[in-house]
Every structure is written in structure tokens, then in C-alpha cells.
Amino acid sequence: MRKSDFAVWVLVVLAFVAAGTSMINATRSQSAVAANADVYKHLDLFGDVLERVRADYVEKPDDSVLIESAINGMLSGLDPHSTYLNPKHFRDMQVQTRGEFGGLGIEVTMEDGVVKVVAPIENTPAEKAGVMGGDLITHLDGTSIQGLTLEQAVEKMRGPVDTPINVTVLRKGMPDPFDVKIVRDVIRINPVRAEVEGDIGYLRVKTFSEQTYEELKLSIADLKKKIGPDLKGYIIDLRNNPGGLLDQAISVSDAFLDKGSIVLTRGRNLNETQRSNARAGDLTDDKKLVVLINGGSASASEIVAGALQDHKRAVVVGTRSFGKGSVQTIIPLGSNGAIRLTTARYYTPAGRSIQAKGIDPDVVVEQELPEELKQAAKATQPRGEASLRGHLKNNEGESTGSSAYVPKEKEKDSQLKYAMDLLHGLKDEQKKVEVQKEQDKTAN
């Protein structure tokens, strides 16, 4: 073929390619224009409804409340975990994940319309001022808290460091209430509680905040020092841990693994798939592990339990976890707060989706409920992700939640007792006895 003919054919091919590309781009452009037109049509509808509400509602509405409610409606319509955080809620969320805030240092609950002190946190302003577990708080700075929610009361007790607050306390055994002046200080919530249980290290991980991994590392080192060479293993208690930061769940899992993947997150697009892997180094020196979970173990807790279970690094004991297998990304909106948006699903190292399914323990141990809770348990189904309206579906199947009850008395905690027996080898010996009995029956 002559060079001139070859050049002509090249030009023809390029022309066809250019034409095809133009047609594809034109089709895409038309689709995009049509989609945008549909969006703008609905925005016009929203504008019409907004103006009608502003003009004709029986009372003059607050425009900012209307817009915030509309945004919340849009996000909550996606799934139960996507939401709008106004500036105040955004600040509260940041405080929660940092695990530090200006406050008094008391764990509280609500009882008969007043705040009841569960316990003062060690070495905090409340403890130093003499506040005791069981105290009832009736007034804050002379104003009754009757009618406030627990969250509203807690918000009033928090505040800038070094500012005082007068707390009116009603104490059992004392005829009259009295005032306690407390000066707020930085309160640091410890996300990990470590205890020595004979020759076993017990690690209660309460939440996955910014300090969780560092506190876990310090706690493991402390348990090693206290127990010494006789240390049998560790119990990692994730029961009723609602989750928290994804990176902390990865770090906590990594603390017990030498290699392998920890979690896989998959977004809407293939290029959004990410895999997190463990680094060399097991903080527990490969000691035996038992992980405790229940119906209150969610999100980051399930990542840890699933990773250690798939790698056969730990025996998971308890009841099925909550089943929150989605990742939320906090997207700041400048001075307007932020949105918490579900951006991915996560999977265990073996590729199991936890969404609306949860982690099934290796050994199911049901916690015995007290009599006063048994009737309520019969009347209500345990709540899990699958019971939440609008939850992301799991095509691999879904499961209901399980009980989240944990007794305060350790001697009544059957799940904890089983974990301790497992680490002492008592359960292994029991299995050997049962196997031997079956063999003897067969022989006879």
C-alpha cells in the first residue's frame, strides 16, 4: 500500500473514532442534562412548598429550622445513620470522639425527673468536691432541672474549663438538700478499663475514640507487668460497645495480629475499595484471646471481632452482634456544621458482610436475665440493624439482634465466666470428657 493510501485510511479511521466519541459524549451529555433538569424540577417543587409554608402556616415558622428539617429529612431518608449535624451537634460529636471535655466528672442517669449520680470519675472535680454515687442532683445554679432531658441536664453541667457551677444535691440519710460548688476541669474519658482476673488480663473496651489504641497499649503493658510470666491470656470485652472511629478499630485489631487483612471497605465505585492490613508485631505476644460480644456490640466492635475471628486469633463468645456494617464519613460544611453520610460498606477479612447480619460468636452463651426483665424480653424483639427502618439491605441474608444485657455482678456474668474457663483450658477438658463418654458408649 502506498503511503498516500495509508494516510487516507488512517484519516478515515480517526474520523470514525472521533465521530463515535462525539456520539457517546453527546449521549452522556443529554443524559446528564435530563437528570439535572429532573433535579431542578424537584427543587422548584421544594421552593414552592417552602414559600407556601412561610406564607400560610398558622404560626410564623423559623426559616433556619425549616431548612434544617428539610436537610435532615433528605439524609434520614437514605438510611438510619446518615444525618445533618448543625454547628452545635457537630461540636458535640467532635468532643465525643476526642474523649475530652470541660465538665464535672460524673457518670449520671435520670431517675424520677432528677439526675442520679452513678459514680464520680476518679480524680475529677466532682470526686474532689465530695459528690457520691447515689446522690440526686435537683438544681443547677439554683435552677430546677425538672422537665429537662438527661442530655439537656448534662449539657448544662458541661462548660468552659475553670468556670464554677453550684449543684444542689439530695443525699440519702440527710434531711435537707445542700449545695456543692464545683469548678469545671478537663474531663478525660478513658475508653479502656483493664483489670487483673487472677492470671488473666481483662480489657473492657468501652468505645473507639481517638485515645482507644494508645490506652489499650498502655493497659496491656500494665497487665503484663502486674501478672507476670503466669499470664494465661486476655479477655477483650466489646459488649455494649457502640463503635466509633474506623481507624481506631483497625489499630485495635492490629494490636493482636501479626499479618493479614483487617477490614475491607467498598464504596459505590470500584476505585473506592480499600483494604487495611495488619503490621508485624502482636502486643500480647500471641497469648490466647477471647472476645466477648452481644447485641450491643456494633460497628467498630464488629470490625475487631470479625477480624480476630476470621484469622482464628481469638474465640468469640456471647451472642450475635448488632449488625452495623456501614461506614459514615463526616463532611464539614464550614460554619454550617457537617453531614454524616454513609459512604461505604465494610467486610471482614474473609469477605463477610456484617450489614444487617452481625457477627455470630464461635460459642453462643446466653446471659441469664433477672426476673424483672424476662417479661419485657418476651414482649419485645431484640433490636439490631435489621430492625431499623430504611437500613441498607444485605443480599446475603439478614438476622435479628440479640440481648444486650450484662449483669453488674461478675459472679452472675455467665459470658465472662465462660471466657475465663476457656482460657484456663477447663472447657477443653470438658470437651475431652464428653468425647471420651461418646467413645465409651460406642464401644459398649
Exposed (0-12), middle (13-18) or buried (19+): which is 89, by Cβ within 10 Å? middle
State yes or no: is 324 an active-site residue.
Answer: yes
Residue pair 217/250 in contact by the 8 Å Cβ criterion? no
Q: Which of 116, 324, 326, 353 is catalytic?
A: 324
State yes or no: is 247 an active-site residue.
Answer: no
Q: Which of 116, 310, 326, 357 is catalytic?
A: 310
Residue pair 116/109 in contact by the 8 Å Cβ criterion? yes
Distance CA 249, CA 324 (A): 14
Write b or e for each residue in 394-412: b if 16 or more Cβ atoms lie within 10 A of its Cβ, otherwise e. beeebbbbbbbbbeeeeee
List C-alpha distances in Å: 367 to 143, 208, 422.
42, 24, 17
Q: Which of 299, 301, 321, 353 is catalytic?
A: 299
State yes or no: is 299 an active-site residue.
Answer: yes
Distance CA 205, CA 183 (A): 29
Residue pair 319/365 in contact by the 8 Å Cβ criterion? yes
List the beta bridge partners of residue 244: 208
The full length of the chain comes to 444
CB count in 10 Å sphere of residue 211: 20
As annotated, the active-site residues are 299, 310, 324
